[in-house]
């Protein structure tokens, strides 16, 4: 449970600031393309949601591939087979412990509250899926006739959706689409008879656009992906931007399939007026023409002239958006904070250690042993860095030793075995010995004996 608690707190702490960072970058990129390509704007917001959910869980360091590459170059130059071990040690530089000096019980409580929030949103997701299933089972199959039937057949051909079903329900206020494998188009009871033919054509075309894009399945995937950050207000705004841009993408597809953008925009406004007498009663996951309450922007998007991006300008904007995204990811990973797993108090250490800095004079390493290079790493010609966290008590003895950055291949255990035998002069505060915590980097490198000699 301690490892899970550490991961949960690390994810929560990083998501608090990484989600706003990703949102800000996505907002800038979306503003750059909103006049030219609504589809690109939609992809930007979807990418932002994915990054906001995944970045807090990533432990990857941007400089690590370059270090690995340099190690391989060194090994190739030296011919590491049969070489010896060269170990260097330095204080570890990390943010992961110094930020949170909180009791383990409080950290456990925070992790519990965070876990309960995830369970709440997961329960709400399950409830929405159950309500959607109930809505489908209670709907009555409908046969679209006349002009509506012809529109249905035409849209089926245009959007290449041939397995959709039509049904009516008294529990909805507007047309919606549900289903992943068996897609269903639901109309409110009485709508087929009460709407103008061109308005019904617009609604059918819009829902076929959703079915063509499989938006119901995508929406469910977004819900699942964003569960760990569902508590964050900026995640709600990101989801709203995804919904808005998705509706405008479907509007463009539907307008091209019916009578054109201007007539489709008028139909959209007339359809929206039907909501003035009855609020939309929708489930969490149903996809429909009334999803986004941005009719003004949707109508303007249909009627205004788009700015075509071609050639160098298109490449420049795309490159700028990619660079902005990569820079955001690199910044988020470089400044990532980790919360170590809570440790039980070691014998003889009854107080939390202080942190080196300010008036606290750091301890000095007076005795160390070189770790034994593992046979697995030697055979693989592997070089790596192991970062170890430890306490140094008032007598200069190490305790609470654990690996915070692993290298694998048996080197982690060897590093811990060696650090356990270290001896320090105690750290001092105003001349008195104090317990402190440290990070030690143990660097494993292989060098050719012949060249060294």
pLDDT in tens, 333-343: 767 776 665 55
User: Is residue 355 a contact partner of residue 393, using CB atoms and an 8 Å limit?
Assistant: no
Cα dist from 422 to 211, 362, 382, whole Å = 65, 15, 25
Domain ends where: 267, 302, 333?
333
The yes-or-no verdict on residue 16 having pLDDT over 80 is: yes
Average pLDDT over residues 397-425: 87
Q: Is the pLDDT of residue 234 over 90?
A: yes
**pLDDT tens, 360-381?**
888 888 888 878 788 888 887 7
Residue 170: both structure tokens together = 């008294």
In a domain, 235, yes or no: yes
Measured between alpha carbons, how far is 354 from 444 in angstroms, rounded to an integer?
29
The phi and psi torsions of 48 (rounded to 5 degrees) equal -65, -40
Q: Same domain, yes or no, for 374 and 403? A: yes
pLDDT band (50, 70, 90) for residue 221:
very high
DSSP H or E run through 167: strand 165-169
pLDDT tens digit sequence for 27-41? 998 888 877 788 888
pLDDT confidence tier of residue 80, bands split at 50, 70 and 90 = very low
Domain boundary among 333, 355, 381: 333
Residues 38 and 174 in one domain: yes
The residues, any chain, with a CB within 8 Å of residue 102's CB and separated by 6 or more, are: none
* Confidence label for 289 from pLDDT (cuts 50, 70 and 90): low
pLDDT score of 116: 94
Cα–Cα distances in angstroms (integers) from residue 85 to residues 199, 371, 381, 406, in the given order: 77, 9, 11, 18
Does residue 244 lie within any of the structural domains? Answer: yes
What is the predicted pLDDT for the residue at 193? 75
Q: Judge if 68 and 51 occupy the same domain.
A: no
- 391 vs 398: CA distance, rounded Å: 6
pTM across the whole model? 0.69
- Contact status, residue 256 vs residue 209, Cβ threshold 8 Å: no
pLDDT surpassing 80 at residue 101: no
- Using CA atoms, how far apart are residues 257 and 252, in angstroms rounded to an integer? 9
| Nearest alpha-carbon partner for 389 in 438, 347, 431 | 438
Structure tokens at 82: 């049969």
Which pLDDT does position 60 carry in this prediction?
Answer: 60
Q: Taking residues 148-166, report their average pLDDT.
A: 88
The answer on pLDDT for 12 being more than 60 is: yes
Beta bridge partners of 443: 88, 385
Same domain, 174 and 40: yes
Given this model, what pLDDT does residue 94 score?
38
Average pLDDT over residues 204-222: 91
Note the pLDDT of residue 275: 63
Mean pLDDT of 69-73: 54
Query: Who has greater pLDDT, 416 or 195?
Result: 416
pLDDT of 91 = 41
Say if residue 71's pLDDT is above 60.
Answer: no
Question: Is 411 contained in some domain?
Answer: yes
- Select the more confidently predicted residue: 265 or 241: 241
Q: Are residues 89 and 204 in the same domain?
A: no
> Among 293-297, 402-406, 413-417, whose mean pLDDT is lowest?
293-297
Last residue of a domain, one of 314, 333, 352: 333
User: Is 116 found in the same domain as 92?
Assistant: no
Lowest mean pLDDT, pick from 31-35, 40-44, 73-77: 73-77
* Residue pair 418/374 in contact by the 8 Å Cβ criterion: no
Q: What is the mean pLDDT of the chain?
A: 78
- Which pLDDT score, from 0 to 100, does residue 115 have? 92
Statement to judge: residues 387 and 368 lie in one domain? yes
Q: Where are the alpha helices (DSSP H) in 258-387?
A: 261-273, 295-303, 311-334, 375-379
Average pLDDT of 349-367? 75
| Mean pLDDT of the 304-328 span | 71
The CATH number that applies at residue 439 is: 3.30.2420.10
> What is the mean predicted confidence (pLDDT) over 295-308?
66
- Cβ atoms of 325 and 22 within 8 Å: the answer is no
Query: 307 and 409: one domain?
Result: no
Quickly state the pLDDT bin for 85 (edges 50, 70, 90): very low
195 within some domain:
yes
Lowest mean pLDDT among 105-119, 238-252, 276-290: 276-290
pLDDT given for residue 36 in this prediction: 75
Q: Evaluate whether residue 338 is within a structural domain.
A: no
Contacts 24+ apart (CB under 8 A), 108-116: 108/5, 108/342, 110/9, 110/12, 111/5, 111/8, 111/9, 111/12, 114/8, 114/9, 114/12, 114/231, 115/8
Look at residues 337, 234, 326 and name the one whose alpha carbon lies nearest to residue 12.
Answer: 337
| Domain span at 435 | 64-101+343-452
- Tell me, rounded to whole angstroms, the distance of Cα 86 from its chain centroid: 39
Given a cut of 50, whether residue 346 has pLDDT beyond it is no
Q: Are residues 353 and 399 in the same domain?
A: yes
Same structural domain for residues 93 and 114? no
Residue 319, domain member (yes or no): yes
The structural domain count of the chain equals 2
Asked whether residue 171 is domain-assigned, the answer is: yes
**Which residue pairs, CB below 8 angstroms and at least 24 apart, start in 222-228?**
222/46, 222/49, 223/125, 223/284, 223/285, 224/125, 225/49, 225/50, 225/53, 226/49, 226/52, 226/53, 227/118, 227/121, 227/122, 227/125, 228/11, 228/15, 228/53, 228/56, 228/57, 228/118
Q: Residue 277: pLDDT band by 50, 70, 90 thresholds? A: low
* Claim to verify: residue 291 and residue 398 sit in the same structural domain: no
pLDDT for the residue 294: 67
Q: Are residues 157 and 268 in the same domain?
A: yes
- pLDDT-derived band at 351 (thresholds 50, 70, 90) equals low
CA angle 189, 194, 196 (to 5 degrees): 130
Beta-carbon contacts of residue 162 (< 8 Å; ≥ 6 apart): 156
Give percent of the chain with pLDDT exceeding 90.
Answer: 15
* Residues 90, 441 contacting (CB under 8 angstroms): yes
Specify whether the CB–CB gap between 60 and 45 falls below 8 A.
no
Q: Residue 345 has what pLDDT?
A: 44
Structural domain contains residue 442: yes
């Amino acid at each position: 449970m301690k490892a899970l608690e550490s991961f949960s707190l690390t994810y929560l702490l990083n998501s608090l600031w990484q989600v706003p960072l990703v949102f800000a970058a996505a907002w800038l990129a979306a503003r750059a393309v909103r006049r030219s390509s609504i589809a690109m704007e939609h992809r930007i917001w979807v990418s932002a949601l994915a990054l906001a959910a995944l970045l807090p869980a990533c432990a990857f360091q941007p400089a690590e591939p370059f270090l690995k590459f340099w190690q391989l170059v060194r090994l190739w130059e030296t011919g590491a087979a049969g070489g010896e071990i060269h170990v260097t040690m330095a204080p570890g530089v990390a943010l992961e412990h110094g930020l949170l000096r909180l009791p383990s019980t409080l950290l456990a409580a925070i992790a519990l509250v965070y876990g309960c929030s995830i369970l709440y949103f997961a329960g709400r997701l399950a409830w929405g899926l159950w309500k959607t299933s109930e809505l489908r089972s209670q709907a009555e199959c409908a046969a679209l006739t006349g002009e509506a039937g012809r529109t249905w057949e035409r849209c089926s051909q245009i959007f290449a959706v041939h397995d959709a079903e039509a049904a009516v329900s008294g529990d909805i206020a507007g047309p919606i689409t549900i289903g992943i494998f068996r897609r269903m188009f639901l109309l409110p009871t009485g709508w087929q008879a009460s709407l103008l033919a061109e308005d019904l054509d617009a609604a059918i075309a819009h829902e076929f656009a959703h079915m063509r894009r499989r938006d119901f399945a995508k929406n469910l995937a977004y819900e699942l992906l964003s569960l760990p950050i569902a508590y964050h207000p900026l995640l709600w705004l990101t989801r709203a931007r995804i919904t808005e841009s998705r509706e405008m993408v479907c509007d463009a597809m539907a307008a091209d399939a019916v009578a054109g953008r201007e007539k489709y925009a008028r139909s959209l406004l007339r359809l929206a007026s039907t909501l003035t007498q009855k609020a939309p009663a929708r489930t969490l996951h149903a996809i429909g023409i009334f999803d986004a309450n941005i009719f003004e922007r949707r109508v303007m998007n249909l009627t205004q002239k788009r700015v075509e991006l071609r050639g160098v300008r298109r490449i420049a904007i795309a490159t700028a958006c990619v660079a902005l995204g990569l820079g955001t990811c690199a910044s988020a990973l470089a400044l990532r904070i980790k919360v170590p797993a809570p440790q039980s108090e070691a014998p003889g250490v009854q107080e939390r250690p202080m942190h080196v800095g300010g008036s606290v004079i750091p301890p000095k390493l007076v005795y160390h042993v070189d770790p034994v290079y593992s046979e697995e790493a030697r055979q693989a010609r592997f070089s790596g860095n192991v970062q170890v966290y430890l306490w140094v008590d008032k007598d200069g003895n190490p305790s609470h030793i654990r690996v915070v950055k692993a290298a694998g291949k048996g080197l982690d255990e060897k590093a811990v075995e060696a650090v356990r035998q270290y001896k320090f002069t105690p750290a001092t505060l105003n001349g008195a010995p104090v317990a402190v915590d440290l990070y030690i980097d143990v660097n494993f490198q292989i060098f050719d004996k012949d060249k060294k000699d």
